[in-house]
Amino acid sequence: MFKLNLSRSRKNEGTLVEQIVSSVKQELKNATYPAGTALPSVRALAKSYNLSTYTVSEAYQRLVSLGLIVARAGAGYRVATPVGQAPAAPAWHAPSLNGAWLLSDVFADQSIPIKAGSGWMPNDWVNESGLQHALRVVSRTPGPRIGGYGHPYGLGALREYIGGSLRRYSLSVGTADVLLTQGVTQGLDLIVRTLLQPGDTVVVEDPCYCNLLQILKVAFINVVSVTRTVEGIDTEELETVIREHRPKGIFVNTALQNPSGTSLSAASAFRLLQIADREGLWVVEDDISRELAPPGAPCLAAMEGLRRVIYLSGFSKTITPAARVGYIAANRELISKLALTKMVVGLTSSEVTERMVANVLIEGHYDRHTAHIRERLFNAHARVAESMLRSGLEIFHTPNAGLFLWAKLPIRPEDSLAVATEALTKGIWLAPGSYFRPGELESAWFRFNAATSDVPELWEFIRGLAA
């Protein structure tokens, strides 16, 4: 068996995934392992070193992408090349980078070992014990209780829990005011389908959540943008845009915005709601990262009371991206319309998944897990920001929380996609700013995931851009 040299000390610079990769690479270099030699199974290696199976799986995937090992159906993982030979090149060609690729291929492409531009937590950060417990509980649920389609609004127990949790933010929400969705992205789609018609105009932030831009595009909605500042949306610019375009609504990412990492200030939030009330605008508040944020970030729905604010959140950033469970909170009349749209386009959401999430929240030490994630992200932000400054990047904002940092590379905006394509050939996924701008306008700004960007190879590549 490969001997792993692992350290769980906080002072250690590498994650456990990186340490496994480094140890296996060293073993292959120092010992004679002919091609075809079997590696321990994911479960066996995890048990031997008291590791998460998610951690070992991610490490093996990285070794596969480096050409050092191969995965064979029914035969596990085996050494791919004899010691002394260079690793095989990845068996893929860099794709054409655009928003469509970000929405599709990247989620399935496990050959990219360094996912610096990703929008989710690393696999080895998930609440494994809570998830496993929840899955065991759900597996014991009698078949007749989970054999149907489920309620159009979603699992009642989970909606009740969400209503209670929102009251912590002074947002008065009952069970009938909550609609469960397959993630926030489906929630955004339901809102667009229910409230807007082709040719309507809405306001988005620049930059903003890339999936939102694609949802609006396929619905033939006109999009105008307003600059996102460190304090939030530029309300003076918003006033001008409203006078010129007469939009029907505005989409806002409140706390720890994707991609900039900024949160609305109290003054910006208050002014935004004033304008929306005066102009009769719908305000769609995407608040997916609130539980990763420090206390105090304004909540538009709590300030306004769900009259024209529609609130969305979910659990992909705290439990696991695989748990496609999100929710919409809105006034009761609108929730009933959104539920009808949900049934028309996709019937009910998965009650099995909703039961799993409910169990994690209630019995899976969720609060302790999120506190641990916030601490890990705080430390990761410090290390990544330091690497950015040493590498000559300009940082838009340092939130010290959440997943994202928005930084400007020392390149011309028109070279951003070429740089991202070159990075892919080296096993590094970058997310250019054009993904997050209406019309995919060129930008030297890039989104970095603090949890996946603390990797020396990434910063060696970045520093090479200025050489």
pLDDT of residue 296: 87
Q: What are the pLDDT tens digits along the chain (467 aa)?
A: 567 778 766 555 578 888 888 888 877 776 656 777 888 888 888 888 888 877 888 888 788 777 788 876 556 788 875 544 444 444 444 455 555 555 444 544 556 789 999 999 888 888 788 888 888 888 888 877 777 788 899 999 999 999 999 998 889 899 999 999 999 999 999 999 999 999 999 999 999 999 999 999 999 999 999 999 999 999 999 999 999 999 999 999 999 999 999 999 999 999 999 999 999 999 999 999 999 999 888 999 999 999 999 999 999 999 888 888 999 999 999 999 999 999 999 888 888 899 999 999 988 788 999 999 999 999 999 999 999 999 999 999 999 999 999 999 999 999 999 999 899 888 899 999 999 999 889 999 999 999 999 999 999 999 998 76
What are the DSSP calls for 316-382, one per residue?
Answer: TTTT-TT---EEEE--HHHHHHHHHHHHHHH-S--HHHHHHHHHHHHHS-HHHHHHHHHHHHHHHHH
Question: 3-class DSSP state for residue 157?
Answer: helix
pLDDT of residue 32: 57
pLDDT of residue 180: 97
- Return d(Cα 341, Cα 328) in angstroms, integer: 13
pLDDT of residue 28: 77
Backbone angles phi, psi at 12, to 5 degrees: -70, 135
- Give the tokens for residue 310: 């529609």
Q: How far apart are the first and last CA of the chain?
A: 42
- Give the tokens for residue 36: 């075809």
Please give the DSSP secondary-structure letter assigned to residue 13.
Answer: S
pTM for the predicted model, two decimal places? 0.79
Domains located in the chain, CATH noted: 16-79 (1.10.10.10), 99-126+368-465 (3.90.1150.10), 129-363 (3.40.640.10)
Strand-pair category, 249-253 with 201-206: parallel
pLDDT of residue 92: 43
